[in-house]
Homo-oligomer: A and B are copies of this chain.
């Protein structure tokens, strides 16, 4: 088929994704998850406009993702005090815990497949 690295890579992804689906935790889309990861792994500040540009998606799409993940308390909107038009997206405890769990799942899959 393909080379063995490719095979192992896809197996890793399959295993991690499969486990995440089976867990039936909050069912985030790829977009939502990508936003969440950027907010938690990259330097603040994070704005709607910035995230939209970063992922090449529309601003309303970001707004909706923030609504959904905000309800789940995975992140939070914090009005920017310098520029009242702008909103900063910040982390929450619950979001940190959630990402730690995700990391465990992926890490295990990576370990088993990529050695």
* B-binding residues in A (CB < 8 A): 2, 5-7, 9-14, 16-18, 20-22, 24, 27-31, 33-34, 37-38, 40-41, 54-57, 99-100, 102-104, 106-107, 110, 114
* Contacts A99-B10, A103-B9 given; does A31 touch B21 at CB 8 Å: yes
Whether the Cβ atoms of A30 and B37 lie closer than 8 Å is: no
* Contacts A9-B106, A103-B6, A110-B110 given; does A14 touch B41 at CB 8 Å: yes
The 5 closest A-B pairs by CB, nearest first: A14-B37, A17-B34, A6-B103, A9-B107, A22-B56
User: How many copies of this chain does the complex contain?
Assistant: 2
Distance of A18 Cα from B32 Cα, bound (Å): 10
Residues on B with C-beta less than 8 A from A16 are 13
